[in-house]
Amino acid sequence: MGCGDSVPGNAVARVDDEPITRATFNHWMMIAQAGSPSGAQGARTVFNPPEFTACVAKLRSSAPKPAAGQPKPTDATFKAQCKSDYEQLRDTVLQFLISEKWIRGEASDQGIEFSDADFAKLKTKQFPKDSDYKKFLKDAGATDADFRLNVRFDTLSTKLRAKVVKDADEVSNADITKYYDKNKKRFGEPEKRDIRVVLAKNEKKADQARAALRGGGRWKAVTKRFSIDPSSKDKGGLLEGLPKGNQEKVLDDAIFGAAKGKLTGPVKTQFGFYVFQVEKIVPAKQQSLKQASAAIKRQLETERRNEVIREFSKDLRKKWKPKTNCREGFVTQDCKNAPKQDTTATQPGQPQQPGQPQGPPQGPPQGQPQGPPQGQPQGPPPGQPQGPPQQPAQP
């Protein structure tokens, strides 16, 4: 009986007292395939595990002719592909169907409801025309009940999440000040300079470039003749918005210690010899606590919401996984009878080499955010998939 008497003979899993029938599982497998390019064309795969006869036949008939000298794929190769595709799709579908029951059960325990009015509102918003709704269901191979299940899942997840985040601690002015004092560098911009530069492959060439510039030569002509820096030689050696601290130290010290307009160098680096001139200086900036407060508050609120959602997710799994039994061949990590995951620490990879300089100075990356990132908690509370494997609609 697979998992024993707890799973009815016509079911693949059971959550609490509610089975997930084979018919339901097979139906959602077909819906999931509708989201793939082949499924959208009506060519959904019949897997027929464990032999995968129909799937192998389909792959064999549609396989392109191998290139000259390449071996022809065997049925064993096709079967391995069918098995892999099936198991991935199976686990995704089961995870969704189990998650839906967990969310619905938890919402019921917490007195959270999904009403006909909720469904009608979201359906109308997604499909103002009934003809569009019917076409969508036909294309997806889904029913009105499938769409309702999906909308209910998303709605209850959202309501549970909203209830959970109410428990997050409020962010005080003291919290904001503490964060600002601890992370002041994140709210500042270093000094930046625009420079013109010639990167020569040896000191002799650098001296020649310097002499040419001192003799009245134009930067565009001199860099074209002497520079080996591809990022600046076609722009007359111009590098704009170069931030302090981003270059090889000897070059960084020279650039940010030089007077504006003074021809400087050669400076020896691992990439060659630099001759440069500072064109513009933009002083360092620092956001005040007042300027940074709004961004800090959003960041701390997000972190606290995410933390309570993570804790809720752990508690939800702890509560509902022991109530979830799955038949052999349909066991995922959401099942009570899943094999224990190996918690042995894996061997770390090779130690990462210290960062290597990326060639000549490149200027600052564009669009750097000021202050902390402003993320938002994502997805249903239990950390489950974002809806069904092929969502009939996104409310």
Residues of the chain with pLDDT > 70, as a percent, come to: 83
Cβ neighbours of residue 38 closer than 8 Å, sequence gap 6 or more = 44, 45
Give the C-alpha separation, 282 to 107, whole Å: 56
Per-residue pLDDT reduced to its tens digit, 184-196: 888 988 889 999 9
**Which residue is associated with the tokens 């600046």?**
232
Q: Which band of pLDDT confidence, cut at 50, 70 and 90, is reported for residue 35?
A: low
Whether the pLDDT of residue 345 is over 70: the answer is: no
The answer to whether the beta carbons of residues 57 and 362 sit under 8 Å apart is: no
Domain positions in the chain: 191-283
Of residues 344 and 155, more confidence is placed in 155
Task: Check residue 177 and report its DSSP letter.
Answer: H
**Whole-number pLDDT of residue 151:** 93
Per-residue pLDDT reduced to its tens digit, 362-392: 544 443 333 333 333 333 333 333 344 444 3
> What per-residue string of b and e applies to 57-75 under the rule 16 or more CB within 10 Å gives b?
ebbeeeeeeeeeeeeeeee
The answer to whether the beta carbons of residues 43 and 61 sit under 8 Å apart is: no
Give the C-alpha separation, 172 to 284, whole Å: 29
Give the C-alpha separation, 361 to 11, whole Å: 63
Give the C-alpha separation, 102 to 95, whole Å: 10
The answer to whether the beta carbons of residues 306 and 287 sit under 8 Å apart is: no
Longest dimension (CA), the chain: 94
Helices (H), the chain: 22-34, 37-40, 53-62, 75-109, 116-126, 130-140, 144-165, 173-182, 203-214, 219-226, 249-255, 289-320
**Whole-number pLDDT of residue 274:** 95
Give the C-alpha separation, 330 to 93, whole Å: 10
- Can you name the CATH fold of 191-283? Chitinase A; domain 3 (3.10.50)
Rounded average pLDDT over 264-280? 92
